[in-house]
Homo-oligomer: A and B are copies of this chain.
Amino acid sequence: MKVSLVQMNAIDNKQVNLKVVNKLIRKIVAVESPRLVVLPECFDFHGGTTETATAEAECFPDGQSYNFLSSIAKELGIYLHAGSIIEKFDGKIYNSTVVFDPLGSEVARYRKIHLFDIETPDGVIYKESDTYDRGDQIITYEIDGVRFGCTICYDIRFPELYAELVKKGAEVIVIPAAFTKQTGEAHWELLCRARAIETQTYVLACGTTGTHVEDGEDRYTYGNSMIVDPWGKILIRADHEVCTVTSTIDLNYVSEVREKLPAINHHVL
């Protein structure tokens, strides 16, 4: 199965971001014909303030981003794992992945469980819980008989979520992200590979990159989108540029790794 990741520099302007995404998706589909295209976290709106972000929230199945994604998935005949959109539901705001099938139908919705409330070593504070409520559902979906698991960014630090996805049959786990440059340099590659090794799944890790203005200040994300195999080998990785990366993933290799080193069957705690 061929999969493509779109690495982009999302800003706090939905019109601009959707134009960029539209172009990048069409280009990669024309060149590579992937079965699945993955977008990063907050691909349609990144930064701003709690107020401007909240104002961009969409009530699915309505909304500009939602409709755009559904249409383009259908037009191009692809699965589209839309990193995350700001979702308004029942008076709450979520950081939500939406996945569309080649008919343009929503096949999965995952609300980010672990919210990023931290201070980086150089003193920049992030507090996602000021804007978002947290999800509480473990979400998977299927493409051509293969089960995919949903996570977002900071979730990567919580292996128990990944173990739950494996219990539900995941053989591929997707991690749309907007990892900070600083924590990215220290931890991103290592955690992507650790999750792949422990869960013996392919990991599709798709990040935003570059400078974003948030609360009036410049913030930087790390890029370095990558596809990792179940043995922890990086099949392809981007650097800091806006780009797409594509690889074919061999689902037989998941069974092969799991047969020889059946760690996922050895959990006892």
Residues of A within 8 A of B (CB): 113-115, 117-121, 134, 136, 138, 154, 157-161, 163-164, 183, 186-187, 190-191, 193-194, 197-198, 231-232, 259-263, 266-269
Tell me the bound Cα distance from A198 to B154 in angstroms: 11
| Contact call B194/A190, Cβ cutoff below 8 A | yes
| Contact call A269/B232, Cβ cutoff below 8 A | no
| Contact call B190/A269, Cβ cutoff below 8 A | no
**Given A194-B194, A269-B164: A119 and B159 interface contact (C-beta under 8 Å):** no
| Contact call A269/B231, Cβ cutoff below 8 A | no
Per assembly, the copies of the chain total 2
CB of A268 to closest CB in B, whole Å = 6
| Contact call A183/B261, Cβ cutoff below 8 A | yes
| Contact call A117/B194, Cβ cutoff below 8 A | no
A/B interface sample: 22 pairs, CB < 8 A? A115-B266, A117-B266, A118-B260, A118-B261, A119-B260, A119-B261, A136-B268, A138-B269, A157-B198, A157-B263, A157-B266, A158-B266, A159-B159, A159-B198, A160-B160, A160-B269, A164-B269, A186-B232, A190-B194, A190-B197, A190-B232, A191-B197
| Contact call B186/A266, Cβ cutoff below 8 A | no
Of all A-B residue pairs in the complex, the 10 with the closest CB atoms, nearest first, are: A194-B194, A159-B159, A119-B260, A118-B261, A160-B269, A157-B263, A114-B266, A190-B193, A187-B197, A161-B269
Contact of A191 among B157, B194, B231 (CB under 8 A): B194
Residues of B within 8 A of A134 (CB): 268
CB of A220 to closest CB in B, whole Å = 17
CB of A79 to closest CB in B, whole Å = 26
CB of A193 to closest CB in B, whole Å = 6
Residues of B within 8 A of A231 (CB): 121, 186
CB of A269 to closest CB in B, whole Å = 5
Residues of B within 8 A of A266 (CB): 114-115, 117, 154, 157-158
Tell me the bound Cα distance from A263 to B120 in angstroms: 12
| Contact call B158/A232, Cβ cutoff below 8 A | no
